[in-house]
Amino acid sequence: DSGVTQTPKHLITATGQRVTLRCSPRSGDLSVYWYQQSLDQGLQFLIQYYNGEERAKGNILERFSAQQFPDLHSELNLSSLELGDSALYFCASSAGDRGYQPQHFGDGTRLSIL
Amino acid sequence: LAKTTQPISMDSYEGQEVNITCSHNNIATNDYITWYQQFPSQGPRFIIQGYKTKVTNEVASLFIPADRKSSTLSLPRVSLSDTAVYYCLVGEGASGAGSYQLTFGKGTKLSVIP
């Protein structure tokens, strides 16, 4: 058990809709990272927050946004969903603000767009 | 942007030593190299991290040559439970908020044969 909790585990929705994925980091960790994993693209870094502030941004679409709240949990918002957004979305956490530090991953949210 | 390249798959018999190499030609001076293991339907799990030369822990060794353009993960005496996907991650040095990337390779699927 990594200590990182992601909800929901599965999400099924339709094109054009909006969803919110939630992540609670491991106790004591201040950084939260979001990743997208699809079969053809591998593990893609989306965005990192550290102690409530955006720290680094990867290949995150403009239709996607994230935030980290004062209690350090984070939410990833995906809007105007397309079929290609179907993927596993992982959240990870680490103690510090540097991305190379060991990250602890949750078990992901599987998003299916119909 | 440091791009990483790994073999897509490898097979090994139980009890053998397995070496998985990752190429990262554009690695930056302050980048670290981290390896993760991922089982189906689970998030990646941290294995080992290094900057240069050799690092060893209870599960693996990491060899990094002087030019740091590649790295090799060594798993001693693999067992069936080591069957998983192994990812190499190069973390680009942060030079300010929002200015760095985390680049995962597409992973190497290791199959351990009895």
User: Which of A22-36, A91-105, B86-100 comes out lowest in average pLDDT?
Assistant: B86-100
CA-nearest residue to B108 within chain A is A42
What is the token pair recorded at B4? 């990483």
Could you report the per-residue pLDDT of B25-56, keeping only the tens digit for each?
Answer: 888 888 889 999 999 889 999 999 999 989 99
Least confident of B60-64, B68-72, B88-92: B88-92
Q: Which of A8, A7, A55, A59 is nearest to A29 (CA)?
A: A55
Q: Tell me phi and psi for residue A83, to 5 degrees.
A: -55, -35
The answer to whether residues A111 and A86 touch, using CB atoms and an 8 Å cutoff, is yes
The C-alpha atoms of residue B77 and residue B64 are separated, in whole angstroms, by: 21
pLDDT of residue B95: 46
Q: Do A45 and B105 touch (CB under 8 A)?
A: no
- Give the pLDDT confidence score for residue A1 in this predicted structure: 83
Residues 90-109 of A with CB under 8 A from B: 90, 92, 97-108
Residue A54 contacts B where some CB pair is shorter than 8 Å: yes
Residue B1 has pLDDT above 60, yes or no: no
**Residue B102 predicted with pLDDT over 90:** no
The secondary element (H helix, E strand) that includes residue B110 is strand B108-113
Q: What is the pLDDT of residue B3?
A: 80
- Residue-wise pLDDT for B77-98, tens only, equals 999 999 999 999 887 655 455 5
Whether the pLDDT of residue A60 is over 80: the answer is yes
Which pLDDT value is given to residue B100? 63
Q: Considering chain B, what is the average pLDDT of its residues? A: 89
C-alpha distance across the termini of chain A, in Å: 31
